[in-house]
Structure 1
Amino acid sequence: MNQEEATSFLQDIIQIKSVNPPGNETEVAQKLKTLFDKHGIETELVEYDENRTNLIAHLKGKEDGPVLGLTGHMDVVPTGEIEWQHDPFGAEEEDGKIYGRGACDMKSGLVACALAMVSLKEEGLPEKGEITLLATVGEEAGAVGSKQLTEKGYADALDALIIAEPTRNEIKIAHKGALWPQIIAYGKTAHGSMPEVGVNAIVHMNEITHAILGEKFELQYEEDELLGAPTYSIDVIKGGSNTNVVPDQCFINMDMRTVPSQDHSQIIQQLEQVIETVKTTYPDLHAEIRILNDQSPVKTSAEDSFVKLVQRVVNVDGSAELGGITAYSDGSQFIHAKNEFPIVVLGPGETSTAHQPDEYVEIDKYLDSINLYKAIATKFLA
């Protein structure tokens, strides 16, 4: 497949509206399957839900050997309310870039993985070992596809994994985790003219939020040299139904981005303690915590042999810098496989354009990533 064909195939994939919600990733999976079938690469489809299908592809050598995993997600976020200058699903090519939702995050990385496998197959490689592609559903909303595949054992045989999220082809060996607690306060309705006979859930939630943002809540952690400190913010608050009704429910959603030194269960216990503290002032307060998203932080040692190999591919002298990213990835689920393996995040795309209007990928970076994945696979499986 030449460069023009590689660019055209990426455009075809970007034009598929696999927006999450609802996802509709099956069409992407089928498009990839058709490509692999054409080149004699074994595939398997794993259904997650209606119109939502994961794809696994295996490129096997003639002899047994290590297994290199490649992974990317097929879903994209909504286009948003701000008007685009380019058709979000037109995959328009302009000034050396392809524009479209998912061009950066992360259909370019996913397609580059697939085309690297096709190219290696055409060259009669690998001679030993295996390359396994895990194309997932639902990464943008809880990494549900990678969770399903991990639970079904599809990552258990991996010896190393490359996640093709956008990094401008720079090497990242760590990313933050995500913990999204929802705190719900329950009250009792009453007529707005008689608030004393009700229990105002908004008032109680106000006290809880003040306690969280004040001195009663403090995250326990050791700052990470690549990821820095954890963060948290209260990003949603909703309560009440009518101006003349005392509200019987109010909730907040929090977004916490965690580092490897933290324990998510301990954070949840801290939030529960905050609620108990507020109860000493408001004994009729009733609140509970629900977890909307729980993704582990990921970190691979800079001294790992696979990391060193990737560094030598990116820079012959092995001097390529290592970094971390603040977002989570499907790696948050794949690290729960039975076998422990190094994870490197490496892919085309400018991270700052992800989820933005007029998202794009530079064609040169996209084509370079295909060659990077080929070179890494060749060296790792040699």
Structure 2
Amino acid sequence: MIYGGVDFAPYFDKTELISLLGELVKRRSESSEGREYETAVFSENYMREMGLETRLQETQDNRPNVIGTWKGTQSDKALLFNGHLDVVPVEPSQWQSPPYQMTEREGRLYGRGTADMKGGIAAALYAVKVLQKAGVRLKGDLKFVFTVDEELLNIGVKKVMEDPKGLKADWCIVGEPTGLDIAIGCRGLLVIDVEFEGVSCHAAQEQLGQNAVYMALPFMEEIRKLNEAYKRDPHPILGPATVNVTVIRGGDKENVIPDRCLVRLDRRLIPGSGKERALADVQEILSRLNLEAKVTSSAFLNYAETPAGDPLVKTLKRHIEAVGRSPEITDFKASCEAPWFQDDLGLTTLTFGPGLIAQAHTVDEFVDIGELVDAAKVYITLCMDLLGYES
């Protein structure tokens, strides 16, 4: 690989990159158990050994975020790379090979977190090492923020937004697995609870009560119709807004008319159909059906969208094509931390990394070695292009 007159071939060691990912994988970091500390310390040490300015940002219970900066010679521009350190749990007996001992088979690297998303973290960190070995100095600052608890409550990125010291930047790349396509955004998420209150009585005397479950039935049917209506008006990249009944809780005993019924909705958000619209649509259904219910919301995550014509999209696309790939301009199929960096820090944000989202949270999770290598190469040349360089 040659870029800017620099031949990186003598300095890019695929085995070294694979080894780095293996070190990350073997350090268990399930957010469900609050185990990110060892991975955080390893990541910070790796950056410090390369001369980066680093700090551990404590969130709670010894679960720190990792922040690092490779200072440029001019520091007039900055690129921020985001990744999450945590992974979801595994059932080892279901795996063909030990999930925390990375295994190579037929051009793939198997292990928990290889795709989601320690592969992206490894590629970004190794890009710095290759740049340094080749004697390249960036003019702008390259910054990293590796967060905890992305798979659960996002306590890591929320702490970053409370204390973003040192993270001022122009652009952000979220290294989630996109198969080396360019995700310009992702749908948002809102959990809505709708609680109906009836009157309890003995089931043999049903006329004395009011069944809260029956009150919820017509509401749920209207939600199903609303979901179909949303599908007729999709965003050109992010797809449609959706709303689905995902939890129903009502009744305690077989011979008691239930006086309460909780209906929980999973609402996915797109531009033009955000949080306020989601709540208004629920209230409209209740009013139309002449039903009373308590409506509350939680787990809000806004959508993210960078215009497909943004210069960063075009620049990233050019560098991906340079490694022989033809990236699609698409959406990230799950939620990620891009909305925080876009909304709270005001950064032009894209999601791009090795691996497939279909491998996230799966048995025998893997990342393709070729994608891992090409991701690192793209990160190298993208940094040089955006931040400028001296060699």
Report the equivalent of 2:301.
Answer: 295
Report the equivalent of 1:149.
Answer: 160
d(CA) in 2 for partners of 1:371 and 1:245? 65
Is this contact kept in 2: 1:43–1:55, CA < 8 A?
yes
Task: Give a deviation string over 1:214-265, Cα, whole Å, max 9, x none.
Answer: 3699549953222232223222222222223333332232222222232221
Letter in 2 for 1:329: C
Q: Provide the TM-score with structure 2 as the length reference.
A: 0.87
Is this contact kept in 2: 1:72–1:110, CA < 8 A?
yes
**Residue 140 (str. 1) matches residue 151 (str. 2):** yes
Report the equivalent of 1:38.
Answer: 49
Is this contact kept in 1: 2:227–2:244, CA < 8 A?
no
Report the equivalent of 2:256.
Answer: 245
Letter in 2 for 1:38: E
- 5+ residue gaps, structure 2: 1-11
d(CA) in 2 for partners of 1:165 and 1:332? 13
Task: Give a deviation string over 1:145-204, Cα, whole Å, max 9, x none.
Answer: 223212323586110111111112122222222222222233444344444444433222
Report the equivalent of 1:269.
Answer: 280
Letter in 2 for 1:330: E
Task: Give a deviation string over 1:262-281, Cα, whole Å, max 9, x none.
Answer: 22212112112222333x2x
Report the equivalent of 1:304.
Answer: 310
d(CA) in 1 for partners of 2:285 and 2:250? 20
Q: How does 1:150-229 map to 2 (within 5 A)?
A: 150-154=161-165, 157-214=168-225, 218-219=229-230, 223-229=234-240
**Which stretch shifts more, 264-273 or 198-207?**
198-207
Report the equivalent of 1:325.
Answer: 332
Is this contact kept in 1: 2:338–2:350, CA < 8 A?
no
**Which stretch shifts more, 120-129 or 316-325?**
316-325
Alignment counterpart, residue 117 of structure 1, candidates 113, 123, 128: 128
Letter in 2 for 1:342: T
Alignment counterpart, residue 321 of structure 2, candidates 293, 315, 319: 315
Alignment counterpart, residue 356 of structure 1, candidates 353, 359, 362: 362
**Residue 378 (str. 1) matches residue 384 (str. 2):** yes
d(CA) in 2 for partners of 1:231 and 1:81? 34
Report the equivalent of 1:255.
Answer: 266
Is this contact kept in 2: 1:219–1:267, CA < 8 A?
no
Report the equivalent of 2:73.
Answer: 62
d(CA) in 2 for partners of 1:288 and 1:9? 51
Does the C-alpha gap of structure 1 residues 67 and 288 become closer, same or farther in structure 2, counting only changes over 3 Å?
same
Question: 1:318, CA displacement in angstroms?
Answer: 11
Is this contact kept in 2: 1:221–1:262, CA < 8 A?
no
Does the C-alpha gap of structure 1 residues 155 and 140 become closer, same or farther in structure 2, counting only changes over 3 Å?
farther
SS at match of 2:249: strand
Is this contact kept in 1: 2:87–2:113, CA < 8 A?
yes
How many residue pairs get aligned? The number is 376
d(CA) in 2 for partners of 1:221 and 1:260? 15
Question: 1:290, CA displacement in angstroms?
Answer: 2.7
Report the equivalent of 1:367.
Answer: 373
Task: Give a deviation string over 1:286-308, Cα, whole Å, max 9, x none.
Answer: x2223232222222123222222
Q: Alignment RMSD, CA only?
A: 2.7
Does the C-alpha gap of structure 1 residues 144 and 41 become closer, same or farther in structure 2, counting only changes over 3 Å?
same
**Residue 94 (str. 1) matches residue 109 (str. 2):** no
Task: Give a deviation string over 1:29-50, Cα, whole Å, max 9, x none.
Answer: 1110121222221111112221
d(CA) in 1 for partners of 2:357 and 2:200? 46
Task: Give a deviation string over 1:68-112, Cα, whole Å, max 9, x none.
Answer: 011111122233699332333232222221112221111111221
Does the C-alpha gap of structure 1 residues 203 and 306 become closer, same or farther in structure 2, counting only changes over 3 Å?
same
Is this contact kept in 2: 1:82–1:357, CA < 8 A?
no
Would you identify which runs of 4 or more consecutive aligned residues in structure 1 move more than 6 Å?
none
Task: Give a deviation string over 1:113-153, Cα, whole Å, max 9, x none.
Answer: 22222333444443321011111112222433223212323
Alignment counterpart, residue 25 of structure 1, candidates 21, 36, 52: 36
SS at match of 1:161: strand
d(CA) in 2 for partners of 1:380 and 1:267? 38
SS at match of 1:140: coil
Is this contact kept in 1: 2:25–2:114, CA < 8 A?
yes
d(CA) in 1 for partners of 2:282 and 2:85? 34
Letter in 1 for 2:117: M
Question: 1:319, CA displacement in angstroms?
Answer: 7.2
Report the equivalent of 1:8.
Answer: 19
d(CA) in 2 for partners of 1:62 and 1:218? 54
Is this contact kept in 2: 1:52–1:137, CA < 8 A?
yes
Does the C-alpha gap of structure 1 residues 221 and 261 become closer, same or farther in structure 2, counting only changes over 3 Å?
farther
Letter in 2 for 1:59: W
Task: Give a deviation string over 1:344-364, Cα, whole Å, max 9, x none.
Answer: 211100222222221101122
Task: Give a deviation string over 1:317-339, Cα, whole Å, max 9, x none.
Answer: 9975422233221002111224x
Does the C-alpha gap of structure 1 residues 127 and 351 become closer, same or farther in structure 2, counting only changes over 3 Å?
closer
Does the C-alpha gap of structure 1 residues 140 and 69 become closer, same or farther in structure 2, counting only changes over 3 Å?
same
Is this contact kept in 1: 2:103–2:110, CA < 8 A?
yes
